[in-house]
Amino acid sequence: MQAGQAEADETARKALATFSETYWPPLYTFVRRRGYASADAQDIVQGFFVHLFEHNTLTRADQKKGRLRTFLLGSLQNFLLKQRERMSAIKRGGNQQLVSFDLHLPETEAAMQATAHLDQVSCYDLAWASTVAKRSWQQLHETLVGEGKAQWFDELKPFVAGGGAVPPNQEEVAARLGVPVATLRTWLSRLRQRYRELLRAEVASTVSNPADVNEELRYLHRILMA
Partner 1 sequence: MSERTDRAKSVTESAESNNAVPFETSIPADALPLEAILCTEELRRRPSRPPDYEKENRALATLARALAYSPRTILQTLAETILDITQSDSSGVSLLTPDGKRFYWPALAGRWTPHIGGGTPRDFGPCGDVLDRNMPLLMRHWELRYTYFSPISPPAEEGLLAPFYVGGKAVGTIWVVMHDARRKFDAEDERVLSRLSEFASTAYQTLATIDELRFQISEHQKAERAVRVTVCPKCGRPLTQVGPDGECLRCVFDWGFTSETEGSEDPTHSGVEPRPLNYGHFEIEMDAHGVPIALGAGAMAVTYRARDTILNSIVALKVIGRKLAENPTACARFLREARAAAQIQHPNVARVIHYGEQDGECFYAMELVDGDTLEERVKRDGPLPVSLALEVIEQTARGLAAGEACGVIHRDLKPSNLMIESDRSGQPMVKIIDYGVAKVMASDATIQTQAEFIGTPAFASPEQFDEAGQQQIDTRSDIYALGITFWYLLTGRTPFASRSIEEIRTKQTQQLPLEQLKSVHAPAKVAALLKSMLAADPARRPQTALELLAAIHRCYPRFESAAHRRRKRLASSNRRTRRN
Q: Which of 1, 39, 166, 211 binds partner 1 (CB under 8 A)?
A: 166
Q: Are 23 and 67 in contact (CB under 8 A)?
A: no
Q: What is the size of the binding site for partner 1 (CB under 8 A)?
A: 56
Footprint of partner 1 on residues 73-112 (CB under 8 A)?
A: 107, 110-111
The stretch among 12-20, 49-57, 68-76, 113-121 that binds partner 1 (CB under 8 A) is: 113-121
* Phi, psi values for residue 138, rounded to 5°: -65, -35
Judged by CB under 8 A, the stretch of 12-20, 84-92, 142-150, 191-199 that binds partner 1 is 191-199
Which residue, 3 or 166, is less far from partner 1 as judged by CB? Answer: 166
Check residue 113 for interaction with partner 1 (CB under 8 A). yes
Phi and psi of 74, rounded to 5°?
A: -60, -45
Query: 138-170 burial string, b = 16+ CB within 10 Å, else e?
Result: ebbbeebeeeeeeeebebbbebeeeeeeeeeee
Among 4, 35, 106, 163, binds partner 1 (CB under 8 A): 163
Does residue 186 belong to the site contacting partner 1 (CB under 8 A)?
yes
We find the least distance from the C-beta atom of residue 188 to partner 1, in angstroms, to be 5
CA distances for 167 relative to 157, 172, 187, angstroms: 10, 11, 16
Contacts of 64 by beta carbon, 8 Å cutoff, 6+ apart: 208
Mark 122-151 with x for binding to partner 1 (rule: CB under 8 A) and - for no binding. Answer: ----xx-xx-xxx-xxx-------------
Q: Is 167 in the site for partner 1 (CB under 8 A)?
A: yes
Which positions lie near partner 1, rule CB under 8 A? 107, 110-111, 113-115, 126-127, 129-130, 132-134, 136-138, 157-168, 170-171, 174-175, 178-183, 185-186, 188-189, 192-193, 195-196, 198-200, 214, 217-218, 220-221, 224-225
